[in-house]
Every structure is written in C-alpha cells, then in structure tokens.
C-alpha cells in the first residue's frame, strides 16, 4: 500500500520524504489555509519534494471553472494530480482531464455507488473518507471493503482506492487489510506507525546492557 501524507506543512513533508516513507502528497483548501501559505507556491514546493503525485484541489464547483483551474495547476509540475469533488460537474471534469492524460483524484467519497461512478469517469484515484464516516457511527472500513470488492469484480475499472481521512494507526491497518491501493494521513499519524511501547522498552534495555560493557563501535 502506498502511503501519502495529507498536509501542507512543507517542513514535516520534507522530513518524511527524506526518510523515504511517503509516495505522494494530498492537500486541500483547508490544509493550505491552516498553513497560511500561498496555494500555488506551496503546490510547487511539494511537487519538487516527491516523485509521486501531489493532489491539488480545484476551488471551482462548475465544469468550466474546474477546467480553467486544472489547467493552471497542471502547469506547476508534471506530478500534480488534479483533485476534484465527487459531483456531477466534478465527474465530467474528471473524464475530460483523463482524456488529456492528466491524473485525477476524486474526493469526498462516502458510498460505494459514488466510487463506482468515479471509476466510470476513469478517475486515477478515489478518496473514500474513512474517519468522517466513523464520526457519524458508520464503519469507514466497510466502505473500503465494498469498493475493493466492486472494483475487483470488474477488471476494466482501473481507479485506485486512496483511503482518506485516516486519523489513527488502526485506520491505517484497516485500510491495508481492506486492500486499499494507497492511504493518506497527517504527518503525526505516519510517525505514530513506528511506535510501540515494547520496541521502546527493548531498545532501552539493549542500550543499558551495551553501556555496561564499556565498549564503543566508532
């Protein structure tokens, strides 16, 4: 499963990219606003940090506006992936952009039927929002499994499942078990995946034993 970082924090993203832990980046207007950064400049910075896709979302809600904004975003870098809302206008723009050879990420997916339509529009990625479903006492993992089953039933559908709105290590495990092609999450969630109390306890014991030997490696 590919791991994307969901953030506009360039320092955090650079740290993860240098460690080789991420395969791409996703952003949205809320993340850019939170960072207080210039949208187009930030997308350009992120695209230079990673070789994989950097999802940049349009702000327009009508087809013509989406296409105009997508043209601007696509000029920033070859690895910019155009992020579109899961609406009829968004799906229309998705189909048109894919015909131009652009990668697309259709976002705000909450049902398997929405995911099916996105695949029919030839979306590169579909982003089911796992955490937001959990917030209203629905199982976001069930949605991932439903989409996986439907896509696997029809090999002609090439859309990749990008599990989104992941807020914990358990969400990441669930996404991987469900067969998501990729998962996107905040930097803190990625960093949490490495931690386990037994790992830290074991390392502390090893270091204590090593110090008692009085030896050095270098």
Q: How far apart are CA 41 and CA 142, in angstroms?
A: 37
All domains of the chain in start order, with CATH: 2-188 (3.20.20.70)
Q: Give the pLDDT band of residue 29 (cuts 50, 70, 90).
A: confident
Active site residues: 83
Task: Decide if pLDDT at 33 tops 90.
Answer: no
Q: How far apart are CA 54 and CA 23, in angstroms?
A: 9
Give 48-99 pLDDT, tens digit per residue: 999 999 999 999 999 999 999 999 999 999 999 999 999 999 999 999 999 9
Quick one: average pLDDT of 126-138?
Answer: 96
Residues 47, 82: contact at Cβ < 8 Å?
no
Quick one: average pLDDT of 117-130?
Answer: 98
Q: Position of tokens 């590169």?
A: 124
Cut 0.75: pTM above it: yes
Q: Position of tokens 């920033």?
A: 76
Can you say whether the dihedral through the CA atoms of 118, 168, 183, 104 is positive or negative? positive
Task: Look at residue 96 in the predicted model and tell me its pLDDT.
Answer: 98
Please give the angle made by the CA atoms of 67, 131 and 153, to the nearest 5 degrees: 70
| Phi-psi domain of 27 (left: phi exceeds 0; alpha: psi -120 through 50; beta: other) | beta
Task: Look at residue 106 in the predicted model and tell me its pLDDT.
Answer: 98
**Which residues have CB under 8 Å from 124's CB, separation 6+?**
53, 81, 98, 103, 104, 105, 159, 160
Task: Look at residue 43 in the predicted model and tell me its pLDDT.
Answer: 95
Task: Decide if pLDDT at 32 tops 90.
Answer: no
């Amino acid at each position: 499963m590919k791991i994307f970082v969901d953030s506009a924090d360039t320092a955090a993203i650079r740290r993860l990219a240098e460690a080789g832990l991420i395969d791409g980046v996703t952003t949205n207007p809320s993340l850019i606003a939170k960072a207080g950064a210039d949208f187009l400049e930030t997308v350009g910075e992120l695209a230079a940090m990673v070789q994989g896709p950097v999802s940049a979302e349009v702000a327009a809600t009508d087809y013509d506006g989406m296409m105009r904004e997508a043209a601007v975003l696509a000029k920033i870098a070859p690895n910019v992936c155009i992020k579109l809302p899961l609406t009829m206008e968004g799906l229309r723009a998705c189909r048109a952009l894919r015909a131009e050879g652009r990668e697309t990420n259709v976002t705000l997916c909450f049902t398997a039927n929405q995911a099916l339509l996105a695949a029919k529009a030839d979306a590169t990625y579909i982003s089911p929002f796992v955490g937001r479903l959990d917030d209203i006492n629905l199982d976001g993992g069930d949605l991932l499994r439903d989409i996986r089953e439907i896509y696997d039933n029809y090999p002609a559908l090439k859309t990749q499942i990008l599990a989104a709105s992941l807020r914990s290590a358990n969400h990441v495990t669930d996404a991987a078990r469900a067969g998501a092609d990729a998962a996107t999450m905040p930097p803190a969630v990625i960093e949490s995946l490495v931690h386990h109390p037994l790992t830290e306890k074991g390392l502390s014991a090893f270091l204590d034993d090593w110090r008692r030997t009085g030896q050095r490696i270098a």
